[in-house]
C-alpha cells in the first residue's frame, strides 16, 4: 500500500514539475519574459531528469526533457496535408497592392475590406497537428499536398507548445506557421561552423530549413529555431469567423504569434502598415521578405476562393525591384553646404521600384575611377528607401564613351577647387559661393534645425540669386512685401513665411547650434554641446581640451568647432543672429524649471499627436529629464500614443505598459 501511495506521489511530483517547466518555457520562449533565472530553470530541469531516470515509465514524449531530440532516423515519412498548403501571390509596390484590393472588393462585392497585416517571416512553413491537447505530428510543406513528417524535430523547438491545457478548442486541430532562425543564432551558428571548418549557411532561411530537416533531431535541438503560428484549422478548415480572432486564440493557447500584426481597415491603412515595416525590417531580430495582407473575414475568404496555387484573399507585399539598368547621358557636379563637390550621373530616365530615376550620385572622383565609368556607358543603378540612387557598376561600355574630367574651378563661383590632404573630396573654399549659401540656408531652415516651414529650395534659389539673402542672418530682415514681389509668392504665403521665420527666433539652443552647419556637428552633437556648455559663447571660448570634455566630442569635432569660430565671416554671422534675437543660451540643465521631473523615466512615442510633433514631444520629455527611445521593451515606462499608433501600442498593451495621450503627457510634464 505504502509503495503504491509513494509511486502516486512521484507521478504527481513529476507532473507538477513538468507543468512548472512548461510554464517557464512559455514565459521564456514564447513571451520573451522569463521570471526565473537560467540557473533556477536548469535546477528544475535537473530535478525532472533525475525523477524520470529513476522512473522511466513516467517519461512522456512531450516532457520538457524530451526537447533535446530522440533517435536519428533513416529517412522521412510522407503524409498528406488536411488541406493544401498554398503559397502567396506577390505584389511589388503600392500600385500592385491597390490592384489586389480592387479585385477583392469587386469579387466580394465590398466597399471597404478589413484586412489583417502580418510580417512575412522568411523561414519555412510547418503544419502541426494536435489531438486531445497533445502535439502528435508535424509536417513540412512539401509540395503543398504532401509533406514530410518531422515530428521529432519539431518537438525540439522550444516556442512550440507540446501540451495545450486550455479548453474550448476542438479535440483535433492544426496550427500552421513559420519556422525561423533569428539573426543572432544564425550568426553564432555560422561562426561556429567556420571554426569547425564546415560550410556556412547563406542566410537564416536556409539555416532554418536545413536544421528542421535533419535526420538526427539532436542536431535540430542544438539549433535555435522559433515557431510563429499564423493559422488555426479544424478539419482542414478555418476555425472561428475572423482571422484576427484566430490569431488571438492561438496566442491564448500558448503559441508564439508575431506581435507586429495589425488590423487594417481598408487599403490605405494596409499600405501605411506595409511601408512602415518594409522600412523598419532591419530592426527586427529575424528576417522578413515582405508583409502579408489577409482578408479578415473567413466568410469573405471563402467567397473569394483560390487559384490552383494561391488564395485570392491574401497577398504578399514585397519591396519593389530596387535595381535597374540605364545609360549615363552626362555627368555634372553639385556644390554642397561645406563646399564639397559631388559628381552626379545624369541618367536616361528609368523606373526603379515605381519611381522614375534620372540622377544618381557618384560621390567623388575616386568613385568614378573605381567604377571605370565614362559618359555613354550602360550602368546598373540601385535605389534603396529614401537614399539618393547610386551607380553600382558599369554593365557595358558605350560606343562613343567620353571620360569626365573633374572640374578645376567651382562651377558656380569660379573659385579654384581644393583637395585637402587625405581627402577624396574636392571643395570650393569660397564661403560666399552662392551654391554653398543656398545649401546653408536650406540646412538652417530644415525641420530638425530652425524648422522654418515654407522655405523650400525654389524660394531659396530666388532669394539668393536675387540678392535678398547674402547670409543666413538676412532671413530675419525679410518682410512680407519684399517676398510678395517674388515670382509665385502670394500675400498669404509671404505673411506666413515671415511669421514662421519670426517664431524660429525662439528655437532652442541645440537647434541653433545644429543650424549653424559646423562641420561634423550633427543634431546629436549639437544637443550634447548645448547640454554641456549651455551657450554659444561658452562653446566659442572653450579650448580644444574643454570641448573634448563633452560626451562624444573627439579631436576631429573639437578642431572643426574651433575652425568655425576662427572664421571672421562666421563671427559676423553670429553677431547678426544674436541681434536678430536667436537663442544663444539656455538655462543650465540642473537649474532649469521642471527639470528632473521625469528623471529616470523612459518613453516611447508612436502615432500622430494632436498638437505636438513627435520631435517636440521628445524635446519636452528630455528637457524634464526623461529619456525617449525607439522601441517598446520591458524597460519602457510610458508609451505616448497618438492617432494611427501601430504595433508599438500593441506591444505596450501586451507588456502592460502605461499608455498616455498628449493631454496626459502634458499633465505629467506640468506635474
With CB under 6 A as the rule, give the number of residues binding ligand IVH: 14
Span from 199-207, 311-319, 363-371, 421-429 in contact with ligand IVH (CB under 6 A): 311-319
d(CA 524, CA 617): 16
Return the range that interacts with ligand IVH (CB under 6 A); candidates 105-113, 145-153, 310-318, 467-475. 310-318
- For the four alpha carbons of 63, 57, 12 and 165, in that order, the dihedral sign comes to positive
Minimum CB distance to ligand IVH smaller for 287 or for 474: 287
**For ligand IVH, which is the closer residue by CB, 88 or 365?**
88
Q: How far is CA 140 from CA 78, 82, 83, 514, in A?
A: 9, 13, 13, 55
Q: Binding of ligand IVH at residue 311 (CB under 6 A)?
A: yes
Q: Which strands sit side by side in the sheet containing 114-121, from one edge to the other? A: 90-92, 314-318, 288-295, 114-121, 262-265
Kindly tell me which of 243 and 443 has the beta carbon lying closer to ligand IVH. 243
With beta carbons less than 8 A apart as the criterion, state whether 319 and 90 touch. no
Q: Which residues pair with 128 in a beta bridge?
A: 138, 175
**Least distance between ligand IVH and beta carbon 327 (Å):** 36
Q: Which stretch binds ligand IVH (CB under 6 A): 50-58, 120-128, 189-197, 552-560?
A: 120-128
- Which of 52, 118, 174, 226 forms a contact with ligand IVH (CB under 6 A)? 118
Question: With respect to ligand IVH, which residue has the nearer C-beta, 6 or 87?
Answer: 87
Q: How far is the CB of 194 from ligand IVH (least distance, A)?
A: 29
Question: Is residue 230 near ligand IVH by the rule CB under 6 A?
Answer: yes
Q: Min. distance of Cβ 523 from ligand IVH in angstroms?
A: 36
Nearer to ligand IVH, 139 or 577 (CB): 139
Give the whole-angstrom CA distance, residue 320 versus residue 382: 11
Cα 493 to the center of its chain, rounded Å: 36
Residue with Cβ nearer ligand IVH (86 or 580):
86
- Judged by beta carbon, residue 123 or residue 339, the one nearer ligand IVH is 123
Catalytic annotation, residues? 120
Interatomic CA distance for residues 220 and 215, integer angstroms: 9
Minimum distance, C-beta of residue 178 to ligand IVH, in the bound complex (Å): 4
Binding segment for ligand IVH among 115-123, 384-392, 403-411, 531-539 (CB under 6 A)?
Answer: 115-123
Task: Look at residue 572 and give its three-state secondary structure.
Answer: helix
Instruction: Give the span between the Cα atoms of 359 and 196, in whole angstroms.
Output: 47
Taking the least distance from each CB to ligand IVH, the nearer of 292 and 516 is 292
Q: Is 314 one of the binding residues for ligand IVH (CB under 6 A)?
A: yes
Taking the C-alpha atoms of residue 332 and residue 334, their distance in angstroms, rounded to an integer, is: 7
Instruction: Report the site for ligand IVH in 180-199 (rule: CB under 6 A).
Output: none
Task: Tell me if 174 contacts ligand IVH by CB under 6 A.
Answer: no
120 binds ligand IVH (CB under 6 A): yes
Supply 106's cell numbers: 469587386
The C-alpha angle with vertex 116 and arms to 112 and 120, in degrees rounded to 5, equals 135
121 binds ligand IVH (CB under 6 A): yes
Mark residues 478-497: x for contact with ligand IVH by CB under 6 A, - for none: --------------------
Give the pairing type, strands 314-318 and 90-92: parallel
Please report, as residue ranges, which positions from 72 to 111 form the binding site for ligand IVH (by CB under 6 A): 86-88
Beta partners for residue 341, in sequence order: 335
Q: Nearest-CB residue to ligand IVH?
A: 125
In sequence order, the 6+-apart residues with CB closer than 8 A to the CB of 50 are: none
Asked if 317 interacts with ligand IVH (CB under 6 A), we say: no
State yes or no: residue 152 binds ligand IVH (CB under 6 A).
no
Helix (H) or strand (E) holding 573: helix 568-579
290 phi and psi, to 5 degrees?
145, -165
Do the Cβ atoms of 384 and 319 come closer than 8 Å?
no
610 CB-side CA count, 13 A: 7
The label of the residue with cell 535533419 reads 214
Residue 19: all three cell numbers together: 507543468
Q: Note whether 260 binds ligand IVH by CB under 6 A.
A: no
- Our finding on whether 284 is near ligand IVH (CB under 6 A) is no
- Residues near ligand IVH (CB under 6 A) are 86-88, 118, 120-121, 125, 141, 178, 230, 292, 311, 314, 316
Amino acid at each position: 500500500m505504502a509503495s503504491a501511495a509513494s509511486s502516486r506521489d512521484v507521478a504527481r511530483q513529476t507532473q507538477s514539475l513538468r507543468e512548472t517547466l512548461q510554464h517557464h518555457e512559455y514565459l521564456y520562449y514564447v513571451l520573451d519574459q522569463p521570471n526565473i533565472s537560467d540557473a533556477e530553470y536548469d535546477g528544475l530541469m535537473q530535478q525532472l531528469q533525475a525523477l524520470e531516470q529513476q522512473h522511466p515509465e513516467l517519461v512522456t514524449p512531450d516532457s520538457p526533457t524530451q526537447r533535446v531530440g530522440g533517435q536519428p532516423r533513416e529517412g522521412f515519412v510522407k503524409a498528406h496535408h488536411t488541406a493544401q498548403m498554398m503559397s502567396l501571390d506577390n505584389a511589388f509596390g503600392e500600385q500592385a497592392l491597390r490592384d489586389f484590393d480592387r479585385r477583392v472588393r469587386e469579387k466580394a462585392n465590398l466597399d471597404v475590406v478589413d484586412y489583417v497585416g502580418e510580417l512575412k517571416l522568411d523561414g519555412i512553413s510547418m503544419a502541426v497537428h494536435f489531438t486531445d491537447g497533445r502535439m502528435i505530428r508535424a509536417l513540412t510543406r512539401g509540395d503543398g499536398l504532401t509533406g514530410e513528417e518531422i515530428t521529432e524535430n519539431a518537438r525540439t523547438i522550444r516556442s512550440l507548445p507540446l501540451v495545450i491545457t486550455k479548453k474550448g478548442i476542438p479535440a483535433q486541430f492544426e496550427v500552421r506557421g513559420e519556422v525561423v532562425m533569428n539573426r543572432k543564432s544564425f550568426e553564432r551558428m555560422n561562426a561556429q561552423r567556420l571554426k569547425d571548418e564546415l560550410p556556412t549557411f547563406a542566410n537564416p532561411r536556409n539555416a532554418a530549413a536545413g536544421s528542421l530537416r535533419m535526420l538526427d533531431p539532436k542536431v535540430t535541438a542544438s539549433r535555435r529555431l522559433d515557431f510563429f503560428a499564423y493559422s488555426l484549422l479544424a478539419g482542414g478548415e478555418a476555425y472561428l469567423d475572423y482571422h484576427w480572432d484566430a490569431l488571438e486564440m492561438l496566442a491564448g493557447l500558448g503559441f508564439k504569434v508575431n506581435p507586429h500584426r495589425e488590423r487594417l481597415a481598408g487599403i490605405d491603412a494596409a499600405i501605411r502598415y506595409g511601408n512602415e515595416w518594409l522600412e523598419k525590417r532591419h530592426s527586427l531580430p529575424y528576417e522578413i521578405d515582405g508583409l502579408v495582407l489577409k482578408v479578415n473575414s473567413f466568410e469573405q475568404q471563402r467567397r473569394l476562393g483560390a487559384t490552383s496555387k494561391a488564395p485570392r484573399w491574401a497577398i504578399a507585399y514585397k519591396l519593389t525591384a530596387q535595381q535597374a539598368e540605364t545609360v549615363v547621358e552626362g555627368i555634372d557636379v553639385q556644390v554642397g553646404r561645406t563646399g564639397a563637390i559631388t559628381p552626379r550621373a545624369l541618367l536616361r530616365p528609368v523606373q526603379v521600384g515605381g519611381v522614375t530615376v534620372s540622377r544618381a550620385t557618384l560621390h567623388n572622383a575616386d568613385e568614378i575611377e573605381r567604377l571605370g565609368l565614362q559618359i555613354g556607358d550602360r550602368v546598373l543603378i540601385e535605389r534603396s528607401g529614401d537614399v539618393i540612387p547610386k551607380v553600382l557598376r558599369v554593365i557595358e561600355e558605350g560606343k562613343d564613351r567620353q571620360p569626365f574630367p573633374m572640374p578645376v574651378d567651382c562651377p558656380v563661383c569660379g573659385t579654384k577647387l581644393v583637395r585637402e590632404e587625405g581627402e577624396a573630396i574636392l571643395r570650393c573654399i569660397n564661403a560666399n559661393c552662392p551654391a554653398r549659401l543656398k545649401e546653408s540656408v536650406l540646412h538652417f531652415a530644415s525641420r530638425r534645425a530652425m524648422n522654418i516651414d515654407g522655405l523650400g529650395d525654389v524660394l531659396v534659389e530666388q532669394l539668393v540669386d536675387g540678392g535678398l539673402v547674402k547670409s543666413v542672418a538676412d532671413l530675419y530682415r525679410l518682410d512680407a512685401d519684399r517676398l510678395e514681389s517674388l515670382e509665385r509668392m502670394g500675400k498669404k504665403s509671404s505673411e506666413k513665411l515671415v511669421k514662421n521665420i519670426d517664431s524660429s527666433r525662439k528655437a532652442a539652443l541645440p537647434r541653433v547650434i545644429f543650424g549653424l552647419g559646423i562641420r561634423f556637428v550633427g543634431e546629436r552633437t549639437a544637443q550634447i554641446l548645448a547640454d554641456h556648455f549651455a551657450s554659444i559663447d561658452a562653446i566659442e571660448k572653450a579650448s580644444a581640451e574643454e570641448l573634448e570634455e563633452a560626451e562624444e566630442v573627439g579631436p576631429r569635432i573639437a578642431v572643426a568647432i574651433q575652425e568655425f569660430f576662427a572664421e571672421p565671416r562666421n563671427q559676423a554671422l553670429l553677431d547678426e543672429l544674436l541681434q536678430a534675437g536667436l537663442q544663444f543660451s539656455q538655462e543650465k540643465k540642473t537649474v532649469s524649471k521642471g527639470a528632473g521631473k521625469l528623471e529616470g523615466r523612459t518613453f516611447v512615442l508612436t502615432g500622430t499627436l494632436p498638437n505636438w510633433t513627435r520631435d517636440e514631444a521628445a524635446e519636452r520629455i528630455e528637457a524634464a529629464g526623461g529619456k525617449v527611445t525607439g522601441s517598446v521593451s520591458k524597460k519602457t515606462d510610458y508609451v505616448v500614443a497618438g492617432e494611427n499608433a501601430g504595433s508599438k501600442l500593441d506591444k505596450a498593451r501586451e507588456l502592460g505598459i502605461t499608455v498616455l495621450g498628449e493631454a496626459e503627457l502634458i499633465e505629467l510634464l506640468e506635474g
